[in-house]
Chains A and B, each alone.
Chain A
Amino acid sequence: MSATTELPTKEANLLKGHEGAVLAARFNGDGNYALTCGKDRTIRLWNPHRGILIKTYKSHGREVRDVHVTSDNAKFCSCGGDRQVYYWDVSTGRVIRKFRGHDGEVNAVKFNDSSAVVVSAGFDRSLRVWDCRSHSVEPVQVFAPFLRFTIIDTFLDTVMSVVLTKTEIIGGSVDGTVRTFDIRMGREMSDNLGQPVNCISISNDGNCVLAGCLDSTLRLLDRTTGELLQVYKGHISKSFKTDCCLTNSDAHVIGGSEDGMVYFWDLVDAKVVSKFRAHDLVVTSVSYHPKEDCMLTSSVDGTVRVWKK
């Protein structure tokens, strides 16, 4: 079993500090740091390789559901139950701006490549794009409508997850669709999967989208044709938001399960290559290191674990 040995299945570190559920754990761009956020309304910056908590960011009024760092590690954005998207400065820990406008909880945020824009996915069935560049230094914009310049509201239900490429915005929604908004072409491609989409993730070559559906299935779609390439089953994902992702080599598909397990599938033949118990409770998020074989998992049990091979 050479496949399993190259997978990060050994626990390297246990990041403890969050009280209550940890809702997301994300590597930064180069994989040296990790940001986690959770029910305790805080965002924490870690060095996952040494297991050190570096900083705690507090400002959210409700639980924090997602966080994303810019590629230059200078800023990050977060979102959550308080219906706002926060734009933070990493080093000072200050909120640079709050983007208000969502009518419901915000489920996911992402920066674009140039970090000029934050895209957020909300419970209000919309994707919203916020401008980070305008009004340079003012700390908190009061009149957020100024900043909101694009709303994508063709979704029929909560948008759970969003992914950006250089030219596209891809959103996965509970209405069962994965919608790709191609800015360059001015097209919207809607791939209806028939099942609520919980989480989407894009392959590193950019050709496929992995969509975690609430029928305990991960589906791999070809992005150009919309064709269903593969289906991955075995884990449980029925009622909670659990993440899925691909390894950095695109060889395996990783999915968290509601029973605390983490599953590894072979990308091509969809076999379960490895599964192990990562947490006692629901695995809310998995994140894979951009270069090394290292993985982060977060769970409702309040812990974040770092896995290496």
Chain B
Amino acid sequence: MGLDEDDFVFHGTPIEREDEIASRKKKAVAGASGTLKTLPAWKQEVTDEEGRRRFHGAFTGGYSAGYYNTVGSKEGWAPQSFTSSRKNRAGARQQSISDFLDEDEKAEMEGQSLAASSQFDTFGFTAAEHSRKQAEKEQHERPSAIPGPVHDELIAPAPESIGVKLLLKMGWRRGHSIKDVRASSDARREARKAFLAFSADENTKESSDSLVLETEAETSLGPQFSEDIKFSETTPVYVLNPKLDLHGLGYDPFKHAPEFRENKRSRLSASKEAGYRKPLSMKESLFGPKSGKMAPGFGIGALEELDVEDEDVYAGYDFDQTYVIEDEQPARPSNDNRLRLTSKEHNVLPGFGAASNSDYSVERFDPPKIPKDFVARHKFSGPRETETKPTASTPPDVPPPEDKNLKLLIDGFATFVSRCGKLYEDLSREKNESNQLFDFLRGGSGHDYYARRLWEEQQKRSGQSNLQLDVKVPPSVQKMTAETRGSLLGERPLQKSLKETETSSSSGGSFQFPTNLSDTFTKSASSQEAADAIKPFKEDLAKQERFEQFLKEKYKGGLRSSDSNRFNIVSESARAQERLDFEAAAEAIEKGKAYKEVRRATERPIDFLAGGLQFTSGGTEQIKDTGVVDMKTSKTYPKREEFQWRPAPLLCKRFDLPDPFMGKPAAAPRARNKMDSLLFLPDTVKAASGSGARQVSDLQEPEKEPEVEVEVENVERPVDLYKAIFSDDSEDDEEQQPMNGKIQDGQEKKNEAAATTLNRLIAGDFLESLGKELGFEVPSDAPYPEGTKPMEAENKAKGKPDASSERRPGLKEKPEEKTSSLKPVSEEEKSTQKREKSPRNWSGGNDLYSSESSGDERRRKRSKKDRHRNYDSESDSSSDYHKRDKHSSRSRRKQRESSREKRSGHKKHSKHYKTKDSSSSRYSGDEERKESKREKRRRRD
């Protein structure tokens, strides 16, 4: 029976029988004595290290699940004993946390929590007693005006007790509870009682007895009081930063973006002040000066760099609706709680009312008065003498001198000086020390007239400039741009092009002097610079100097100084000739500049002048011609040009059009521009996008007429090589195996060997073709000049079957034979050193290799052409040259096995290429890959 019971779980209450009860008892005795070995599941208990029952609590505070995870025992929770009788009433028992704690936890709590017993409670009797005594004493001392219970004694000052001080020192803060609610509320209640007792004391004139009474009365008020106290405990004393948003507690939206916090604050404060939102300006704070150009609201990723293209071209317009929107924000934060205190409600604090008049008043100071005639502009003393010059001393009106020329000169000079300042007068006086014409500057004849004229001009000018300034000083709220600032400071914007300056200077009339002296300096410097950069007469220094002088004068439009002709050129005719030269050169330079301006947008600086072209009296015309042509064409826009353009076959397919160039050889890529082909600018072209290397080579050819169909065959990429590299060659093998029946012994072995050879060849082949593509010399099969190539190709294309039939036996021949036949071609291109090392073998290996590969290449070309013509023939032809590939590789392999030296030479060869163009190889390698892949795709299509 007992055994059966072990295996089952019984529910419900079984009808007990006598013998069963007996057996259970027996069992229980046995369990207690530890004799029972295996207990049923529900009887087994899990205990913790202390030996208490512990069940499946996942955490330390895990719930002690009991009987089959339901209750503590089979019987359920044991109810607490509760007894209440008439004599001994059981009070309403309040639960506390201690009811739910284990003993050891209670002990832990005891250690940490600080509970002042009522004995030592400073809030309680002692403090109250003390204050009461104090008050009593004071009452005796001074007579109170109000009879009866004195008010100020009711409000006895509670001293900062030592307990509070201690607590504060220990880290307790006001508003926080010290221990659990009940205990402290008790203490508070006691204190209350004391106070009440004290207040009652006066009325009843009974000190101690009444206190007891009061205490009893207070107990009835207990709950209410305790609640009050609780409230006071949990409410913090100061609410410094009231939580006004709807974020979760402790959530800081600006945690990782503190810049925005500042923004928000400023916005809030602004909205408080003005009542409206201001657009965010993140310009200064967030990204530094760069971000000013960025469009608001659209940042770029952290990993990307701010680039030119990220500039906001539409900057300058402000988007007023762009905010960083925080939708968590409540409609209007009720921070007016505090405002209400001061403004609206007077009875917020019970017992307090707002004073009708406050003693505290802010003393206000009025801003200083601005004099009515004050103009908010600083007047500069210095270069602008016209403004500062005292106009008091008006020179007398003097009749002009008789000499008309002198009069003109004086008039002109006076205008000039009035514009440029006194400095210029001094300068020119110095300069023209000996010149009779300028006597009037030194008090000679006409000086009075000059003085008068100068004054008049100055008057005129100052009036003008005043007017100007009046116009220019705007409502002054406008944003100051660089230009306005510049104009305020009297700077001149840099001239866009020399052409413009010329026209402006020429249009100004007879005397167009630069308005400021400093200006003249800067400008002459710039023209000087231009002249320095362009030295067309390098070979003749003196002439160059004269030319520069000429330029200076030309661009300045200034007075021709008397010593401009100090270079004494022998004859008049020579001088005239030189002048013509100068003019031509200047014009050419100018045109070049203008052209450059135009071309700047295209990012191809054309400084053909700096590029070393020299001007001679004859050579200038050439340049002039091109310039003139260019100018002329600009007048006849729109201009139509027509070129041949070859669309890709696939493009035609996609547009559902027949390929106009079907089967025709590729046309020569035409020179991009007349200018480009004229001026050899390999470096700029290289910078151009697309396939750089090829263009360079094309451009370096003499200019071709675009209309003429020049048949130039580009160096084709060896398609099959790439196919071998990039496509899985399993299918190829399958194709080829039956064909190579002769040679095959063990197929796997052969395949493996073929693969390895192929791999080896690939490297060499690849490098070679790479070299070819970059225009390097490939030893045997010289990259014949492109003009002759098409002929050859054409011939071969025509006689294709013959060629291939020739080829096939050739391949089966021994390599040595080929070497001898091809040797002379490559002989001269080899470095002698290498030949010395292993003369015969090396050259032989190399020759064979290169010739073969080039042969391969040619064949491929041919077959490619075939493909263009006839798509059907593609498959068999390709398989054809696969086979051939195999052959050649095999033969090569044999050869390699026979001599190691060949291999080493071979290697050297390839290395040689690698080092030669390590810089560009990567790029073109990529390009080739792309190309090959494209090729592959095309084939698939």
Closest to A80 in B: B309
CB–CB A184/B637 < 8 A: no
**Contact across chains for B673 and A112 when beta carbons are under 8 A apart:** no
The segment out of A50-58, A192-200, A248-256 that lies at the interface is A192-200
User: Whole-angstrom distance from the CB of A97 to the nearest CB of chain B?
Assistant: 15
* In contact, A183 and B652 (Cβ under 8 angstroms): yes
- Which residue of chain A lies nearest to B926 when distances are taken between CB atoms in the complex? A145
Contact A190 B641 (CB under 8 A): yes
For A150, the chain B residues whose CB sits under 8 A away are 647-648, 650-651
Contacts of A194 in B (CB 8 A): 634, 637-639
B265 within 8 A of A: no
- Smallest CB gap from A166: residue in B: B655
Chain A residues 153-194 with CB under 8 Å of chain B are 153-154, 156-157, 166-167, 174-176, 181-194
* Contact, CB under 8 Å: B651 / A191: no
Of the listed stretches A68-76, A124-132, A290-298, chain B binds A124-132
* Inter-chain contacts of A184 with B (CB < 8 A): 657-658, 660
Tell me if B295 is interfacial: C-beta within 8 Å of chain A.
yes
**Cross-chain contact A189 with B641 (CB below 8 angstroms):** yes
Q: Which residues of A contact B603 (CB under 8 A)?
A: 157
Contact B660 A185 (CB under 8 A): yes
Contact A125 B655 (CB under 8 A): no
The answer to the question of A62 belonging to the interface, with a C-beta cut-off of 8 Å to chain B, is yes
State whether A187 touches B645 (Cβ < 8 A). Answer: yes
Instruction: Please determine whether B657 and A167 come into contact, CB atoms closer than 8 angstroms.
Output: yes
- A221: Cβ under 8 A from any B Cβ: yes
Is B319 in the interface zone, CB < 8 Å from A?
yes
The secondary-structure label for the interface of chain B is loop
| Residues of A close to B60: CB separation below 8 A | none
CA of A41 to CA of B301 in the docked complex: distance in angstroms?
Answer: 13
A102 — nearest CB in chain B belongs to which residue?
B689
- Number of A residues, CB within 8 Å of B: 70
Interface flag for B40 (CB, 8 Å): no
A187 contacts which chain B residues (CB < 8 A)? Answer: 642-645
Most interface-central of B313, B643, B647 (chain A CB within 10 A): B647
CB distance from A170 to the nearest CB of B (A): 13
Minimum Cβ distance to chain A for residue B308 (Å): 10
Cβ of B298 under 8 Å from chain A: yes
What 0/1 pattern do residues 199 to 210 of A give for CB contact below 8 A with B? 000000000000
Contact of A196 among B319, B321, B601 (CB under 8 A): B601
User: Inside 8 A of A11's CB, which chain B residues have their CB?
Assistant: none
Q: With the chains together, A281 CA to B320 CA distance in Å?
A: 13
Contact B601 A157 (CB under 8 A): yes
User: Is A66 engaged at the interface, CB distance under 8 Å to the other chain?
Assistant: no
The verdict on B686 contacting chain A, using a C-beta distance below 8 Å, is: no
B602 at the A/B interface (Cβ < 8 Å)? Answer: yes
A186 to B670, CA, bound (A): 14
* Contact between chains at B672 and A156 (CB < 8 Å): yes
Q: Nearest Cβ in chain A — how far from B679, in angstroms?
A: 14
B269-313 to A contact mask, C-beta < 8 Å, 1/0: 000000000000000000000000001111011001000011011
**CB pair A186 B647 closer than 8 Å:** yes
Instruction: Assess the A221–B660 pair: CB atoms within 8 A.
Output: no
Q: For residue A153, which residue of chain B has the nearest CB?
A: B690
Q: Is the interface of A mostly helix, strand, loop or mixed?
A: loop
A21-B314, A61-B301, A112-B654 are contacts. A188–B645 as well, Cβ < 8 Å? Answer: yes
B120 within 8 Å of A by Cβ? Answer: no
B602–A114 CB distance below 8 A: no
Pairwise interchain contact B313-A133, C-beta atoms closer than 8 A: no
Residues of B contacting A105 with CB < 8 Å? 309
- Cβ A146 vs Cβ B648 within 8 A: no
Are the C-beta atoms of B601 and A186 separated by less than 8 Å? no
Q: Contacts A20-B319, A21-B314, A187-B644: A151 and B690 contacting too (C-beta < 8 A)?
A: yes
CA distance A145 to B313 in the complex (A): 31
The contact string, 1 if C-beta is below 8 Å from chain B, for chain A 292-309, is 000000001110000000
| B-contact 0/1 string along A114-140, CB 8 Å cutoff | 101100000111100101011000000
CA A20 to CA B656, docked complex, whole Å = 41
Given contacts A190-B641, A192-B638, contact A126 B654 (CB under 8 A): no
A19 touches B645 (CB 8 A): no
A112 touches B314 (CB 8 A): no
Residues of A within 8 A of B27 (CB): none
Contact B638 A193 (CB under 8 A): yes
B319 near A149 (CB under 8 angstroms)? no
**Minimum CB distance partner of B301 in chain A:** A61
Q: Which partner residue on chain B sits nearest A239 by CB separation?
A: B313
Are A300 and B643 interface neighbours, CB within 8 A?
no
Give the segment of B366-374, B415-423, B855-863, B929-937 that binds chain A.
B929-937
A243 at the interface (CB under 8 A from B): no
B317, CB-defined interface residue at 8 Å: yes
- CB–CB B647/A192 < 8 A: no
Which residues on B sit within 8 Å (CB–CB) of A300?
Answer: 314, 317
Chain B residues 579-634 with CB under 8 Å of chain A are: 601-604, 633-634
List the A side residues contacting B937 at CB < 8 Å. Answer: 134, 146, 149
B688 at the A interface (CB under 8 A): yes
A191 and B640 within 8 A (CB): yes
Chain A nearest CB: distance from B648 CB in Å?
A: 5
| A interface residues with partner B (beta carbon < 8 Å) | 19-21, 39-41, 61-63, 81, 103-105, 112, 114, 116-117, 123-126, 129, 131, 133-134, 143, 145-146, 149-154, 156-157, 166-167, 174-176, 181-196, 219, 221, 225-228, 239-240, 281-282, 300-302
Chain A to chain B contacts (Cβ below 8 Å), 21 pairs? A20-B298, A39-B314, A62-B300, A114-B654, A114-B655, A114-B656, A134-B937, A150-B651, A154-B672, A156-B602, A156-B672, A157-B601, A157-B603, A184-B660, A185-B660, A188-B644, A188-B645, A190-B642, A190-B643, A191-B640, A192-B637
Please name the 4 residue pairs, one residue from A and one from B, whose CB atoms are nearest each other, closest first: A226-B640, A188-B645, A186-B660, A194-B637
Known contacts A40-B298, A184-B660, A195-B637; 17 further A-B pairs (Cβ under 8 A): A19-B297, A19-B322, A21-B295, A103-B689, A117-B655, A129-B648, A133-B654, A149-B651, A150-B647, A175-B602, A186-B645, A187-B643, A188-B644, A189-B641, A190-B642, A191-B638, A194-B637
